[in-house]
Chains A and B, each alone.
Chain A
């Protein structure tokens, strides 16, 4: 699936692929592979990528590991707070099919039902080499205009919302930070 882009959108997509600020949602074990990717050995910053503190500033959203029912609500909140050309990367097998936690009572097996994932990285956990392979692929997809999860989420909002409600009951978070 591909969309027509104007020349300005093509230029903007080129810029977006060269400057990806990431927000990492470190629920599972996957976060442990990010520090070596960011620091001296592999040096993520040479691709223009860097960690950002809040969802408002971020472009790509890393879901590093399995999601439980409780954390999925936070993930949906965070995803909807990000500004619009936004890309989701699923880290590791857990985001694809539940990984080794597939038969747990509280684990979300397929993240793709709830928010649109642009790219998965298979592995348990993926090594930094695999992460870089994925990021260069994501850069290519953004340049070609193939990373369109954010448009899909807008067009199929009812479908995603229905899946979210089916699994979670309600999406609202009830704790001291959100009320």
Chain B
């Protein structure tokens, strides 16, 4: 039974994730008053990339790409999608956070293994940015875990039956959403892959299959990040309700990113450690003195 549930989660990640990325391209095009590509453009892109004949840069590079994809797939199978939970009882916040680092480190290792200085700069920027958004995100998450006295994502979801955490702890939800923009690498925080400055950063040496696998890894990691936000802040519900909430969050993030320019890396970290971190501590203080709506 578990294997079917895992397959269902992964297929959802693949189809819904790639479709929503195509829709995001369409939305950005409409914001810029263009027609935009068809919604299935990202499926074509992935399969085209897999069909080309590319170059390897040594076994560290190959292994890093596989580790990145495998790590993110493993993470995704632990994330509950509404009432579709592949591993009941194991869907813990800490399990997801630890497993998620495997994918990020695999990508860092593989891309640095390509030997291109632009890739090293991109990876350094990505890890610096991670330092920026993880701290406020984890402080706001810690406040929630303290309030409910549980760190199981399913329990957190069910305990919001009366009112969503978005309304109970609005400041914490805002902090988590700003951190989510950084995790997704959306526009004000797309410093690691800045195509005009460092030639798309970590992806600089990726050709063909490697590009296709990394695009899939990106899709799955987007799915994990937004799913965590939806599960923890936007309440529970059935599978379809979950997908609806997911779509709304993704479209809002896309619309915000469509109109913003890019931060420099030190501006990213300064911003995250000043505004969202301060707000996250404020929220934690409110939770400690019992001001929860």
Contacts and interface: CB of A to CB of B under 8 A. Distances in A.
Q: Which of A39, A54, A85 has the most CB of B within 10 A?
A: A54
A46 B34 contact: yes
B51 interface: yes
A113 B47 CA distance: 33
A59 B54 CA distance: 11
Contacts, number: 82
Contacts of A53: 195-196, 199-200, 203-204
A83 B210 CA distance: 11
Contacts of B47: 15
Interface in B197-244: 199-200, 203-208, 211
A45 B208 CA distance: 20
Contact of B199 (A18, A48, A54, A59): A54
Interface residues on B, range: 20 to 34
Contacts of B25: 45
B204 to A, nearest CB: 5
B41 A19 contact: yes
B207 A57 contact: yes
B45 A83 contact: no
B53 interface: yes
B208 A83 contact: yes
A54 B200 contact: yes
B37 interface: yes
A46 B53 contact: no
A44 to B, nearest CB: 9
B37 A46 contact: yes
A12 B195 CA distance: 27
Nearest to B114: A56
A48 B22 CA distance: 11
Interface residues of A, number: 23
A19 B55 contact: no
A33 interface: no
A146 interface: no
A52 B149 CA distance: 48
A40 B55 CA distance: 35
A149 B20 CA distance: 36
Contacts of B5: none
A84 interface: yes
Contact of A57 (B36, B37, B206): B206
B44 interface: yes
Nearest to A18: B44
A152 B41 CA distance: 30
B45 A19 contact: yes
Interface string A12-44: 100110110000000000000000000110010
Contact of B29 (A45, A51, A57): A45
B33 interface: yes
A51 B196 CA distance: 11
Given A15-B44, A48-B41, A56-B205, A43 B54 contact: no
B35 A46 contact: yes
A51 B199 CA distance: 11
A16 B48 contact: yes
A87 to B, nearest CB: 12
Contact of B37 (A12, A48, A54): A48
Given A18-B41, A53-B195, 20 more contacts: A12-B51, A15-B51, A16-B48, A16-B52, A43-B34, A45-B29, A46-B35, A46-B37, A46-B38, A53-B196, A53-B200, A53-B204, A54-B200, A56-B206, A56-B211, A57-B200, A83-B53, A83-B54, A83-B208, A84-B53
30 contacts: A12-B51, A15-B47, A15-B48, A16-B48, A18-B41, A19-B45, A40-B33, A40-B34, A45-B34, A45-B36, A46-B29, A46-B34, A46-B36, A46-B37, A46-B38, A47-B37, A48-B37, A48-B38, A54-B204, A56-B55, A57-B200, A57-B203, A57-B206, A57-B207, A59-B52, A82-B207, A84-B53, A84-B54, A85-B52, A85-B53
Question: 4 closest pairs, A vs B, by CB?
Answer: A84-B53, A12-B51, A83-B207, A53-B200
